[in-house]
């Protein structure tokens, strides 16, 4: 066993978590939200009129009164300094998919040898950052550096406690000097605004003259892996690519189903408890933690929040997981498929929409009026998914998710909707006539009849469906574990807004007399279901039969990121984003460019890692073992025995193929010049990835036969089961 690997194993086995408790406080109520400048702090500290105006913006979406900014800034600064803060940071979400921040101090010299506190309304509302080093997809030239951050008043500022100080973090949007969105937040807020406008139009037809602000809500379930940190640092592929590029199948994987919901290992539980505590302090309402299906895989899930706040909190969850893991000598892996052959990690986004005055609009009601409203909104979502499936598929397309989508632990590349038998029967009876629960054959009259009772869990869940109705919400299961949930929500909000716009426009033509209006609603629902029924599928999405059936139905399918982005980049996509003011043609084109460029960069990083690890770690280990076998064979031949030549021949053959595979990959990495980024993506799929897979096959074959004494890399068995 290599010295590095031996040390990693010894350190992992001998690790002992600190016996010191995280905190003497036992009640969550004592510290929940203590590190956010939220409603409680604002109500307590701000003048009443300032607080009222601020709440009008937060709760009703009214424009921010800039006149109150100085008061809010002074109050926020005082609160932060009382908690030990010395700096503030405008936190934004560039198109890297990560967070970004620039720290500035609250203090400035007074030219008399002292410091004074400075934090004005202008500094709160707007910051400036160098935008040239962030991906812009051609929107900005490298020398055009100016970028602006703008305070998002709807997401509370919060404190991050470091080892040596505290920082006030202010969630912001990020745009260029020309006003183009360079981040994830601006399109998300625009899409929420569009959805609110169209949902309110529809609600007026159901008697809601002032329904209040309608917002989408999200509850993302975050899956992740934890391995000992020593193994992480002994694997260059994990360190630089986030996933293992080599690794033979271990004797035991997940086939016994003994990990899922099992007892949480002591070190992992200690880590989870501190994660929960830190997130509670930040006001993140995490609720669930448990072992996931794969060994060393876990999940954390919050309750539902407004889409924008849920997105900001999702970033905080990922940051907190990765920030605290080293404290327990662990590494948190957020890649969608860090280990081949076992389940990968997703981030199931539970999505709904509603408001305080109207409740959850995807919650079936108990009166004819409520039922009709529910059916309209539900049918609008189904229509949106059917008409704009390539947009949803494209929103989760990136290199990491390519390893997960289509495998037997994740939804396939075909987007379909699961409704469950009961709700499907209701829609079928409504549209075509048929049998619904406890009903005779006939067409359901939504203006008179009530739905069959639909409890919250009216049907079993379908874990194979990419987009499943689960009682009062839809679960978008195709989102990858490492990605921001902003992009998928931007698409979902926008396409549902388009669908509700269609509904409202059609209902505006309907007669106002109640019976005739009900008949018009029924006719519209029938049309929507008949035209979009192809996307509804309640069966097993993993089967070959479904893929064939989906093709027969004409449903789009995209197995790779380049294919998914190409299907998404259509005139219809540009039109729908532009129509609802979510992304301009320029902004959307830049995103396609950025996502393709990132795909190319990700794969070339992995290819270089493959060659480097194979040449400097794997091949030398194989040669050493080959020499050992050769020396042993020579000694045995001298004694008239010949017992290891078969193994030697096998190793010789693997090493010969390994050398050829390394050389072939190096040649494949010399990509032809003058290719467009789209052509580069096609080259990678057709020419680079197959060669990388061939090299991996030879490396994994060598691991199966090489003496454990010589193998340089921590194995799957060690990484997944020593914790």
Domain ranges of the chain: 31-183, 193-597
Instruction: Collapse the DSSP code of 533 into the 3-class scheme (helix H, G, I; strand E, B; otherwise coil) and give the result.
Output: helix
What are the CB-based long-range contacts (under 8 Å, 24+) for 358-367?
358/203, 358/208, 358/211, 358/212, 358/214, 360/472, 360/473, 361/199, 361/203, 361/214, 362/469, 362/472, 362/473, 362/474, 363/472, 364/451, 364/454, 364/458, 364/472, 365/451, 366/450, 366/453, 367/450
- Rounded to whole angstroms, how far apart are CA atoms 665 and 607? 8
Cβ–Cβ contacts within 10 Å for residue 450, how many? Answer: 17
- Rounded to whole angstroms, how far apart are CA atoms 684 and 670? 11
For the packed helices 421-431 and 368-387, what is the interaxial angle rounded to 10 degrees?
Answer: 90
- Rounded to whole angstroms, how far apart are CA atoms 244 and 606? 10
Query: Which residue intervals of 107-155 are DSSP H helices?
Result: 121-125
Main-chain phi, psi angles of 387, to 5 degrees = -75, -25
- Residue-level pLDDT at 459: 57
Tokens of 391: 């947009």
The answer to whether 245 touches 606, Cβ cutoff 8 Å, is yes
Tokens of 58: 């937060």
Instruction: Collapse the DSSP code of 114 into the 3-class scheme (helix H, G, I; strand E, B; otherwise coil) and give the result.
Output: coil
Residue matched to tokens 């190096």: 666
The answer to whether 237 touches 609, Cβ cutoff 8 Å, is yes
The answer to whether 218 touches 308, Cβ cutoff 8 Å, is no
Q: Which residues pair with 288 in a beta bridge?
A: 301
> Distance of alpha carbon 252 from its chain centroid, rounded?
29
Asked: is 31-183 a CATH 3.10.20.70 domain? The reply is yes
CB-based burial label for 222 (10 Å; 0-12, 13-18, 19+) = buried
The answer to whether 297 touches 331, Cβ cutoff 8 Å, is no
The answer to whether 629 touches 643, Cβ cutoff 8 Å, is no
CA proximity to 189, closest of 311, 340, 335: 311
- Rounded to whole angstroms, how far apart are CA atoms 509 and 526? 16
- Residue-level pLDDT at 643: 62
DSSP single-letter state for residue 375: H
Cβ–Cβ contacts within 10 Å for residue 147, how many? Answer: 25
Q: What is the DSSP string of 30-55?
A: GTTTTTB--HHHHHHHS-HHHHHHHH
Query: In Å, what is the CA distance from 50 to each residue of 66, 72, 171, 276?
Result: 11, 8, 20, 33
Instruction: Collapse the DSSP code of 147 into the 3-class scheme (helix H, G, I; strand E, B; otherwise coil) and give the result.
Output: strand
Check if 31-183 and 193-597 are the same fold.
Answer: no
Tokens of 181: 């969105």
Give the chain's end-to-end CA distance (angstroms, integer).
Answer: 19
Q: With the C-alpha atoms ordered 153, 155, 159, 162, is the resulting torsion angle positive or negative?
A: negative
- Residue-level pLDDT at 620: 97
- Rounded to whole angstroms, how far apart are CA atoms 364 and 446? 13
- Residue-level pLDDT at 20: 45
Q: How many residues comprise the chain?
A: 723
The answer to whether 47 touches 71, Cβ cutoff 8 Å, is yes
Strand runs labelled E in 570-721: none
Beta strand 85-92 with 165-176: parallel, antiparallel or unpaired? parallel
> Distance of alpha carbon 467 from its chain centroid, rounded?
15
- Rounded to whole angstroms, how far apart are CA atoms 486 and 176? 19
Cβ–Cβ contacts within 10 Å for residue 615, how many? Answer: 14
CA proximity to 168, closest of 261, 94, 104, 93: 104
3-state helix, strand, coil split of the chain in percent (to 5) is 50, 15, 35
Residue matched to tokens 């529809």: 202
DSSP single-letter state for residue 26: -
DSSP single-letter state for residue 535: G
The answer to whether 72 touches 121, Cβ cutoff 8 Å, is yes
- Residue-level pLDDT at 24: 46
Residue stretches of the chain with pLDDT short of 70:
1-5, 12, 15-26, 130-132, 140-145, 367-369, 407-409, 433-461, 640-645
Main-chain phi, psi angles of 310, to 5 degrees = -60, -35
DSSP single-letter state for residue 67: G
What are the CB-based long-range contacts (under 8 Å, 24+) for 615-618?
615/662, 617/236, 617/712, 617/713, 618/246, 618/658, 618/699, 618/702, 618/712, 618/713
Tokens of 531: 């035209």
Asked: is 193-597 a CATH 3.30.590.10 domain? The reply is yes
- Rounded to whole angstroms, how far apart are CA atoms 60 and 54? 10
- Rounded to whole angstroms, how far apart are CA atoms 552 and 548? 6
Q: What is the DSSP string of 208-260?
A: -SS----EEEEEEEEEEEEEEHHHHHT-HHHHHHSS-S--PPPS--STT--ST
- Rounded to whole angstroms, how far apart are CA atoms 48 and 42? 9
Instruction: Collapse the DSSP code of 711 into the 3-class scheme (helix H, G, I; strand E, B; otherwise coil) and give the result.
Output: coil
- Rounded to whole angstroms, how far apart are CA atoms 219 and 239? 30
- Residue-level pLDDT at 441: 45
- Rounded to whole angstroms, how far apart are CA atoms 645 and 356? 76
- Rounded to whole angstroms, how far apart are CA atoms 635 and 188? 71
Q: Which residues contact 687 (CB under 8 A, 6 or more apart)?
A: 668
């Amino acid at each position: 066993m290599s010295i590095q690997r031996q040390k990693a194993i010894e350190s992992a086995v001998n690790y002992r978590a600190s016996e010191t408790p995280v905190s003497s406080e036992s009640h969550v109520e004592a510290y929940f939200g203590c590190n956010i400048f939220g409603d409680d702090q604002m109500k307590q500290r701000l003048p009443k009129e300032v607080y009222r105006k601020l709440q009008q913006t937060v709760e009703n979406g009214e424009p921010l009164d800039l006149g109150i900014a100085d008061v809010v800034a002074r109050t926020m600064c005082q609160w932060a300094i009382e908690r030990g803060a010395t700096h503030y940071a405008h936190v934004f979400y560039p198109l890297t998919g990560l967070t970004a921040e620039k720290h500035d101090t609250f203090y400035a010299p007074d030219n008399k040898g002292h410091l004074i506190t400075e934090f004005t309304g202008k500094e709160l509302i707007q910051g400036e950052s160098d935008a040239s080093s962030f991906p812009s997809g051609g929107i900005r030239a490298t020398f055009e550096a100016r970028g602006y951050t703008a305070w998002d008043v709807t997401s509370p500022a919060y404190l991050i406690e470091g080892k040596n100080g505290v920082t006030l973090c202010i969630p912001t949007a990020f745009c260029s000097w020309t006003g183009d969105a360079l981040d994830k937040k601006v399109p998300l807020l625009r899409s929420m605004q569009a959805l609110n406008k169209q949902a309110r139009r529809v609600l007026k037809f159901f008697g809601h003259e002032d329904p209040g602000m309608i917002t989408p809500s999200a509850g993302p379930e975050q899956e992740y892996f934890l391995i000992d940190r020593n193994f992480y640092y002994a694997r260059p592929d994990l360190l630089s690519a986030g996933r293992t590029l080599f690794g033979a199948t271990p004797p035991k994987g997940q086939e016994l189903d003994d990990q899922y919901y099992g007892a949480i290992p002591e070190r992992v539980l200690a880590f989870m408890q501190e994660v929960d505590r830190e997130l509670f302090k930040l006001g993140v309402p995490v609720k669930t933690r448990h072992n996931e299906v794969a060994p060393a895989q876990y999940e954390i899930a919050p309750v539902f929040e407004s889409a924008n706040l849920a997105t900001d909190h999702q970033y905080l969850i990922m940051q907190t997981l990765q920030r605290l893991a080293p404290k327990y000598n662990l590494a948190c892996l957020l890649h969608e498929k860090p280990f081949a052959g076992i389940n990968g990690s997703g981030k199931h986004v539970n999505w709904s929409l509603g408001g305080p005055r109207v409740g959850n609009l995807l919650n079936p009601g108990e009166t004819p009026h409520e039922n009709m409203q529910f059916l309209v909104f539900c049918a609008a979502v189904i229509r949106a998914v059917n008409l704009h499936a390539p947009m949803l598929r494209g929103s989760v397309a990136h290199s990491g998710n390519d390893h997960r989508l289509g495998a037997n632990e994740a939804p396939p590349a075909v987007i379909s909707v699961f409704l469950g038998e009961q709700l499907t029967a209701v829609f079928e009876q409504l549209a075509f006539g048929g049998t619904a629960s406890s009903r005779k054959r006939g067409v359901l009259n939504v203006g008179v009849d009530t739905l069959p009772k639909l409890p919250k869990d009216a049907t079993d869940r379908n874990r194979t469906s990419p987009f499943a109705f689960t009682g009062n919400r839809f679960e978008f299961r195709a989102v990858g574990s490492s990605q921001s949930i902003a992009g998928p929500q931007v698409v979902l909000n926008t396409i549902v807004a388009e669908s509700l716009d269609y509904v409202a426009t059609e209902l505006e033509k309907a007669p106002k007399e109640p019976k005739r209006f009900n008949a018009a609603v029924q006719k519209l629902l029938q049309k929507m279901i008949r035209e979009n029924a192809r996307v509804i599928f309640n069966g097993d999405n993993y089967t070959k039969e479904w893929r064939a059936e989906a093709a027969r139905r004409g449903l789009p399918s995209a197995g790779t990121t380049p294919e998914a982005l190409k299907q998404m980049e259509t005139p219809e996509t540009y039109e729908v984003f532009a129509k609802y003011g979510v992304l301009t043609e320029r902004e959307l084109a830049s995103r396609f460019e950025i996502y393709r460029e990132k795909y190319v960069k990700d794969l070339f990083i992995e290819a270089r890692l493959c060659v480097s690890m194979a040449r400097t770690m794997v091949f030398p280990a194989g040669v050493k073992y080959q020499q050992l076998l050769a020396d042993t064979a020579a000694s045995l031949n001298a004694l008239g025995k010949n017992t290891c030549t078969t193994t030697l021949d096998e190793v010789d053959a693997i090493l010969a193929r390994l050398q050829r595979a390394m050389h072939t990959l190096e040649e494949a990495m010399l990509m032809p010049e003058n290719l467009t980024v789209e052509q580069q993506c096609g080259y990678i799929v057709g020419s680079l990835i197959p060669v990388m897979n061939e090299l991996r096959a030879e490396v994994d074959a060598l691991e199966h036969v090489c003496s454990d004494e010589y193998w340089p890399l921590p194995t799957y068995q060690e990484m997944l089961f020593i914790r």
